[in-house]
A and B are shown apart, each in its own frame.
Chain A
Amino acid sequence: AAGVIQSPRHLIKEKRETATLKCYPIPRHDTVYWYQQGPGQDPQFLISFYEKMQSDKGSIPDRFSAQQFSDYHSELNMSSLELGDSALYFCASSSLTSRLETQYFGPGTRLLVL
C-alpha cells in the first residue's frame, strides 16, 4: 500500500539559512499534519491542513510557514534556521471520512542545522 512520502530524507543547513520540506500524502487522504520531534522527545504538533485550508495550528514558530497545494502535497518552509531547529520532521496524512481518522506518518526528514 502507498505510504506518505517525504523529501528530502536528510538535510544539513547552516544557521540563518532556509529549508523546504515536502510531503506527499497517501492517495485520497485529504488532511496533512506536520510534527517536529527533537532528540529524545515526543513529536510536537506544528500545523495541519484540510482540503488545502489551514485546519489547526500548534507550536509552529513564526519563522516557519506551510501550505497544502491543489494536488494535496504540502510544503513546510523554514527560514532563519537556528541550531534548535535540528530535529526529525514528520508529515502525517489522514482521511477525515474514515471512522478512525488514523494519522499515518511518513519516514520523516532529519534536519541538522550547523
Chain B
Amino acid sequence: AQKITQTQPGMFVQEKEAVTLDCTYDTSDPSYGLFWYKQPSSGEMIFLIYQGSYDQQNATEGRYSLNFQKARKSANLVISASQLGDSAMYFCAMREGPSGSARQLTFGSGTQLTVLP
C-alpha cells in the first residue's frame, strides 16, 4: 500500500487566491512527522512546513499552513494568496518513527501547481 498519496497530479489556481493540495498517509507507527517540500523547475527541493503526529496545533509558516486531520490521516497543504513564484511541484513526505531516529522520508507522487496571472 502507498504510504503517501497525493491524488492531484496537477492543480491550477488564480494569482492571489488560496489553494489546497491534498495528502493522505498510511502508517501504524504512533510517532511520525509529515513534511511538505516544493520543487521548482530548477530542481532543488525546498522545505516548507512540518507537522508532528503529537502536535496539537496545525502548523503554519507564513503563507503556508497544514490542515492536519489525524483521524482521517490527512495533511493537506494550504497556500494562501498564491503568487506566480509558487508554480512548482509540491511533495508531501512522511518520516515514520520519533524524532532522533534518522529515518528516511517517504514521498508522495507530487502535485504540479500552476499559478495563473
Contact B33 A105 (CB under 8 A): no
Q: How far is the CA of A106 from the CA of B39 in the complex (A)?
A: 12
With A105-B37, A105-B44 as known contacts, state yes or no: A100 contacts B50, CB within 8 Å: yes
* Interface footprint category on A: 20 to 34
Give the nearest-CB partner of A45 in chain B: B104
Interface flag for A62 (CB, 8 Å): no
Give the nearest-CB partner of A104 in chain B: B47
- The number of chain B residues with a CB under 8 A from chain A is 24
User: Which of A41, A56, A104, A106 is B102 in contact with, Cβ under 8 Å?
Assistant: A56
User: Which of B33, B43, B108 is A101 in contact with, Cβ under 8 Å?
Assistant: B33
Contact B99 A107 (CB under 8 A): no
Nearest CB on B from A77, distance (A): 20
Interface flag for A64 (CB, 8 Å): no
